[in-house]
Structure 1
Amino acid sequence: MNWYDKNFDELTVHELFKIYKLRAIVFNTEQDSAYYDPDDDDPQARHVFCMVGQELVAYARYFTTDDHVTFGRVVIAKDHRGQGLGNSLMDHILAGIKRHFPGKEIIIHAQVQVEGYYRKFGFISYGDQFIEADRKHVHMKYPGL
């Protein structure tokens, strides 16, 4: 199991293909989302992912906006769920943000069904629920690292 944290230009063509394939499987097939993916945030994002051999098993991206950092596209391959990879992925996301964007507040749009999961990492919900990509979401923030 190997973890990586790369900017867009550092990704190989094969890594990028595997990232887009996993995102399509999870978001378009499993979650039946028609949300536009890939999008224009990919080139500015850092991409955190885990490989087991040649298989991409966990992925997320993070990037800065005007005044904060955000992350998303958090996915675990179906065959690897329930093995603690989500916690490891969150640890890698937070460590990468701390390294590359120290002191910046983190604000995310979390799907409502995983709101409790992010709370375990110190995230705090605020505001009303809203619909994004045909799913209920909530704003969550994390104090600056």
Structure 2
Amino acid sequence: MWSIKTFNELNTKEWHHIVKERIKVFVVEQTSAYQEVDDYDLEAVHIYKKDSGQLKAYARLFEKDGKITFGRVLVPKEGRGEGNGRKLLETVLAYARAHYPNREIEIQAEAYLKDFYASFGFKIISDKYLDYDIEHYDMAMRI
């Protein structure tokens, strides 16, 4: 079941589970030491799917510098290959279209996922660059 909640709507157990998975993927799995929890969490809409108590997919969506963006997109390792990433992006983009129509949405995409994001209509708008030693592209589309 998909949930879409502001930070204030999340209960402490939901937030704990989300942060635990984010750190597991973005800090531990990717061996990238950085400030994973930031102030954008406070203003973001948190979109996630849980099944049998397990987080299956997660992303956060927020406005930054006049543009809509999303990030911290994750599917836990044990749930990959089940289509949760595609369903997550469909859910994120549907929410963005409903709440931010005719706006530009810009993301930082890990380079190996550029074709995945392109399949939704995103276009590369930057050269490849390193962010915490992980190759990324900036990508954008109008929603």
How many aligned residue pairs are there?
Answer: 143
Work out whether residues 67 and 104 of structure 1, in 8 Å CA contact, stay in contact via their aligned partners in 2: no
Alignment of 1:59-138 (within 5 A): 59-138=58-137
Unpaired stretches in structure 1, ≥5 consecutive residues: none
Q: What is the root-mean-square deviation of aligned Cα atoms in Å? A: 1.0
SS at match of 2:13: helix
TM-score, scaled to structure 2? 0.96
Q: Which residue of 2 aligns with 1:35?
A: 34
2: CA distance between counterparts of 1:26 and 1:66?
26
Work out whether residues 7 and 44 of structure 1, in 8 Å CA contact, stay in contact via their aligned partners in 2: yes
Work out whether residues 27 and 36 of structure 2, in 8 Å CA contact, stay in contact via their aligned partners in 1: no
1: CA distance between counterparts of 2:43 and 2:98?
16
2: CA distance between counterparts of 1:77 and 1:32?
15
Give the drift of 1:136.
1.2
Runs of 4+ in 1 over 6 A off after TM superposition: none
Report Cα offsets for 1:31-53 as digits up to 9, x if no partner.
Answer: 11112110111001000000002
TM-score, scaled to structure 1? 0.95
Instruction: Kindly provide the amino acid, as one letter, of the partner of residue 32 in structure 2.
Output: S
Range with greater deviation from structure 2 (54-63 or 126-135): 126-135
Report Cα offsets for 1:6-38 as digits up to 9, x if no partner.
Answer: 111100111100000000111111111112110
Work out whether residues 5 and 47 of structure 1, in 8 Å CA contact, stay in contact via their aligned partners in 2: yes
Give the drift of 1:99.
1.9
Instruction: Kindly provide the amino acid, as one letter, of the partner of residue 123 in structure 2.
Output: I
Q: Which residue of 1 aligns with 2:15?
A: 16
Work out whether residues 107 and 141 of structure 1, in 8 Å CA contact, stay in contact via their aligned partners in 2: yes
Range with greater deviation from structure 2 (48-57 or 128-137): 128-137
Give the drift of 1:133.
2.2
1: CA distance between counterparts of 2:58 and 2:112?
19
